[in-house]
Amino acid sequence: MDKFLQIAPHSLGIVLSRVGAEESPAVTDKLQQHHTGYEIFADFKAVNMQHFWNKKMTDAISETFFLGWIDQDVLLIQGKEHHLEGLREGWTRRALKPPGGFEIKCIGF
C-alpha cells in the first residue's frame, strides 16, 4: 500500500497554520486581506523571491504555479519536479518562508 496519495502530478502541498491573530491586531488585519488562496500564494511567492543569494530557490519559486487552496490550510502548488525538489530542500534548510500571517507546518507531495 502506498504511503501517500498523490492528488495531482508534479504537485506539492504546503500545510499552513495561522499565527498570532490573538496577539497582534496587525496580523489579524493582514489575514483579512487574504481573500483567496491565490492571494496567499502570491504573498508566498513574493516573500520567497527575495532569496537572490540562492538561485535554485528563486528559480523554483518563479516556476511554480497555483493549483488550489484546500480546506483553508493547504496551499497546493504545481511545477516541474526539480523545482519542487528545490522547495523541499529549502524547507529542510529552513530557507522557505511562509506567507504573511502564517507558518509552514509541513510540506507534502
pLDDT in tens, 54-70: 888 899 999 999 999 98
Largest Cα separation within the chain, whole Å, is 46
What range does the domain containing 15 cover?
A: 11-108
Q: Which of 104, 34, 38 is nearest to 69 (CA)?
A: 38
How many domains does the structure of the chain reveal? 1
Residue 54 counted as domain residue: yes
Question: What percentage of the chain reaches a pLDDT higher than 70?
Answer: 79
The whole-model pTM stands at: 0.79
Residue 92 counted as domain residue: yes
pLDDT band at 1 (very low <50, low <70, confident <90, very high): very low
Residue 73 counted as domain residue: yes
Residue 2 counted as domain residue: no
Q: Which of 106, 103, 107 is nearest to 27 (CA)?
A: 103
Separation between Cα atoms, residue 13 and residue 65, nearest integer Å = 12
